[in-house]
Structure 1
Amino acid sequence: MQRIETLIDEARHNMTVCNACRYCEGFCPVFPAMERRLAFSREDLNYLANLCHNCSECLYACQYAPPHEFAVNVPKSMAKLRASSYREYAWPGPLARLFDRNGLVSSVALALGMTLILLVAIALNGGLAGLLGAQHGGDFYALMPHNVMAGLFGGVALFIVLALAMGFAAFWRESGEGARALLDRRAWRDALSEAASLRHLHGQGDVGCTYPDEYHSHWRRRFHHFTAYGFLLCFAATVTGTFYHYLLGWVAPYEIISLPKLFGILGGLGLLVGPAGLFYLKLKRDPASGDGRQLGMDMAFIALLWLSSLSGLVLMLFRESSALGLLLVIHLGIVLALFVTLPYGKFVHGLYRLGALYRNALERRRGGAG
């Protein structure tokens, strides 16, 4: 792993050359934000790195790209610095190092470990005998009481929310902005609109971005949409299920036409299509356009999303069978592993990129670097 000082020097060199050239100023928000600065501090470069969408348009247009002696490669430089910022902002910091290398292996091992822990917990409560060979009528709570499941996932969720909030606080504190700067509604409207539409993956003239190679394509944006909205639909399924249980007194299992099931099915399908497409594009990506050492971290998140979706859909299909117990434990183990890795893997890029988009919107409104 390169030292942070080396990454900063590399990114500063690239931005200095780009600021003198300015050929790519209309490509993405990084270049207008760059032009609002005369010098580049470490904090500025971390911000620009998280504002970069790694579309690689600038790499293929750059007259100073390798093999030129200036060796300007903004996408790769920003990708390396962006990954460094994930480790820098992570809370608690030591956990981030678990997924620095061999992220895919670590995440799969974590999923297996979580599954084993659940099996042991069920065995200690005398429920292992009913795990296989018994009909439960699709009732998950016959195997694991609702309060136990809610307490387990609720506790993990609280930790994850805290870890993400602490990471974002570190990101925002480094920007030099105070908490009051987060209250600009117009800036949030602009940032959320850009994030929800993936505006900066449309490319110049709505032709798509140059990913995975130098030819324009919309597929990266489409697969991101499947993934993001699939994830949000699965979250909506959980929220509506919680609303049904605690406020309406409607206890699971729910009918296939209920909102929790419909949201879950649509979200699950989105999380099968999106991550699979992103996996394919990453395998085809031009090695010059990114940091190959992050592939394990990227693939870990993609794999856990895809496995969570697949195991959830299989669980729903076979919920009336005797395999319900084993399928439930496998699904919950994978989902727990996904949750635990959220603040320390590729998921956080969405959080910090939203923060960078918001800061960029603030700067545009102020007409300067702020």
Structure 2
Amino acid sequence: MFDQSQMGSKPSTRIDEARRQIEICNACRYCEGYCSVFPAIMRQRSFADADITQFANLCHNCRGCYYACQYIEPHEFDLNLPGILAEVRSDSWERFAWPGPLARLFQRSGTALALALALGFAVLFWAAQTLRPESGEGFYAVMSHGLMVSVFMPAFLLPLLALFVSLRRYWRHVGGQRVRISHIRQALSRAAQMKDLSGGQGQGCNFEDEDRFSNSRRYAHQAVVWGFFMCFGSTASGTVMHYVFDWAAPYGPLSLPKLLGVPGGLLLTAGCLELARLKLKADPALGARRVWSGEMGFVLLLGFVSLSGLLLYAATGTAAVAVLLPLHLGAVLTFFLLTPYSKMAHGFFRLAALIKDAADK
């Protein structure tokens, strides 16, 4: 019988344990239609380490297979496929991250690290208000546009470089080949619909309650994803308006940045709160316990970024801006810098796994 304490041991031990459980699943095949993982498993008869890593990143930890399984504890097979794949998955993010030590630090102490960085950056931004411009409107009356650009441009580009290096390492490890546009289209469609969180019959998964099928986690993920893209679109449209059309902020409530940013922020805040609630309610034994802090830290950080942005917009023109702006900018800067090492990276890895899966079919 597998000792659950081994799930916190060496990565090689966890991969070997995942291989043992996957071989049993491949013989049973009861969960064939549950998600993308099982059809991928059943296309093969033997499993290399790279295959295990690919399966782990295909898994969305919906946990439906665990509650349907007849071989979980106290059976001698002692299967816990969602739990062991979560461990292998977090190992892969750490192994392929660049630079790696930052990923390991965040995975184990994510909440404390995010809080410390956000508050530290907020203090620096608060101090930088002494360099405020003599003229300016809205936020730029508190902090200059040039200062914001000089800080956030490299903070945005460097994490993108780190993510590119990480994904390139992953793609090479799992044996990814050249893909077609159709493979990318299939992967994007599956990711956008969150099909792997809908359960085998489309009635949802069992993430927060073994006896209850629910789409709560699926909808919360969709709210976070679409809210994030709307907020990104808000920032991008503001950038175009500023540099291309010479329309300086602040923008009115019917402008494109506000029409995208306000509902996007509401979606993002609501989605993060729901994900945090579900995570507190779910059984930690079916996930990667050793990186729980990192996962929760990321959700709380992203939620605070969106909430502080909404509060900042509501406080425009008041003295509260001088307090809220440093807090918001500190959280945003922390989010950008930690993106390659936080659970934000899982979206990129899972998309890569879905693209490879589409190509393998």
Q: Deviations over 1:11-55 (max 9, x none)?
A: 011111111111111111111111122211111111100000111
CA distance in 2, matches of 1:8, 1:206: 30
CA distance in 2, matches of 1:24, 1:191: 21
CA distance in 2, matches of 1:138, 1:209: 48
Equivalence for 1:158: 157
Equivalence for 2:235: 238
SS at match of 2:254: coil
Equivalence for 1:112: 119
Match of 1:52 among 51, 59, 65: 59
CA distance in 1, matches of 2:215, 2:259: 28
SS at match of 1:53: coil
8 A Cα contact 2:176 2:356, kept in partner: no
Q: Shift in Å at residue 326 of structure 1?
A: 2.0
Equivalence for 1:277: 274
Q: Shift in Å at residue 325 of structure 1?
A: 2.0
Q: Shift in Å at residue 138 of structure 1?
A: 5.1
Residue 323 of structure 1 aligns with an amino acid whose one-letter code is A
8 A Cα contact 1:138 1:324, kept in partner: no
8 A Cα contact 1:56 1:75, kept in partner: yes
Equivalence for 2:185: 189
Number of matched pairs: 353
* Correspondences of 1:219-238 after superposition (within 5 Å): 219-238=216-235
8 A Cα contact 1:138 1:320, kept in partner: no
Match of 1:28 among 35, 53, 70: 35
TM-score, normalisation: structure 1: 0.92
TM-score, normalisation: structure 2: 0.94
SS at match of 2:188: helix
CA distance in 2, matches of 1:70, 1:225: 35
8 A Cα contact 1:244 1:250, kept in partner: yes
8 A Cα contact 2:108 2:292, kept in partner: no
Residue 255 of structure 1 aligns with an amino acid whose one-letter code is G
Q: Shift in Å at residue 137 of structure 1?
A: 8.0
**Runs of 4+ in structure 1 over 6 Å off:** none
Match of 1:312 among 306, 309, 313: 309
CA distance in 2, matches of 1:52, 1:251: 45
8 A Cα contact 2:187 2:358, kept in partner: yes
Match of 1:200 among 196, 200, 210: 196
CA distance in 2, matches of 1:233, 1:251: 20
The 10-residue stretch of structure 1 (88-97 or 186-195) with the greater mean CA deviation from structure 2: 88-97
Residue 155 of structure 1 aligns with an amino acid whose one-letter code is P
* Correspondences of 1:1-370 after superposition (within 5 Å): 1-123=8-130, 125=131, 127=132, 139-178=138-177, 181-182=178-179, 184-214=180-210, 215-364=212-361
CA distance in 1, matches of 2:67, 2:285: 10
Fraction of identical pairs, as percent: 44
CA distance in 1, matches of 2:234, 2:86: 33
Equivalence for 1:133: none
CA distance in 1, matches of 2:254, 2:136: 17
Q: Deviations over 1:204-238 (max 9, x none)?
A: 23211111121200111111111111111110000
Superposed CA RMSD in Å reads 1.6
CA distance in 2, matches of 1:288, 1:60: 13
Residue 83 of structure 1 aligns with an amino acid whose one-letter code is S
CA distance in 2, matches of 1:203, 1:138: 50
Residue 281 of structure 1 aligns with an amino acid whose one-letter code is L
8 A Cα contact 1:90 1:343, kept in partner: yes
CA distance in 2, matches of 1:308, 1:337: 10
The 10-residue stretch of structure 1 (280-289 or 185-194) with the greater mean CA deviation from structure 2: 280-289
Equivalence for 2:5: none
Q: Shift in Å at residue 292 of structure 1?
A: 2.4
CA distance in 1, matches of 2:266, 2:137: 21
CA distance in 2, matches of 1:306, 1:287: 21
Residue 110 of structure 2 aligns with an amino acid whose one-letter code is G
Q: 5+ residue gaps in structure 1?
A: 131-135, 365-370
